[in-house]
Amino acid sequence: MADQAVRDSQELAGNVHVHNIPLRWNDFDRYGHVTNSAYIELAQEARLAFAQENFYSRGHEFVVFVRHLEADYLRPLLPNTVTATVETQVVRVGNTSFTTRQEIKDAQGRVCCVIECVQVTVDNATTSPREITTKEIGILSQSAASSALEG
């Protein structure tokens, strides 16, 4: 997946949600690298910012559960990176789920980790999967790759 992740990064097109996250001292291991679990937390924080800016701030309740998460670690995030940049893009929209692709970048703009996350929309009262509404598709398309909404 690493070679594919680099190619995908070079071909990233469409709208991207960008979120900058200050790195914390506990994100680093004893060797000065950001820990594997910290990458997952950074991606989650960026997904929450994505939801806050695109759904919650507009008064739209949007509950999702993570169904699948895949991380490809390409290079270490080192202590010279004070703030990581996470770029989130919707790469697929289905009936009840959508997939985001996130690139976590260092201070030089190099992709250090690529995370793909399948999220299922759920009914808050029943916690059962539900269809993504037309309004939600419209919102998701604002941060979507050109191929995300194709049949």
Per-residue model confidence (pLDDT) at position 22: 97
Q: pLDDT tens digits, residue range 61-101?
A: 999 999 999 999 999 999 999 999 999 999 999 999 999 99
Per-residue model confidence (pLDDT) at position 144: 84
15 pLDDT more than 70: yes
| DSSP-assigned beta bridge partners for residue 100 | 90, 117
Sketch out the chain's domains with CATH numbers.
2-141 (3.10.129.10)
Per-residue model confidence (pLDDT) at position 147: 76
Confidence of residue 145 (pLDDT cuts 50, 70, 90): confident
**If we measure between CA atoms, which residue out of 35, 151, 11, 36 comes closest to residue 89?**
11
Percent of the chain having pLDDT more than 70? 89
Per-residue model confidence (pLDDT) at position 10: 37
| DSSP-assigned beta bridge partners for residue 113 | 73, 104
Mean pLDDT of the chain: 89
Per-residue model confidence (pLDDT) at position 14: 62
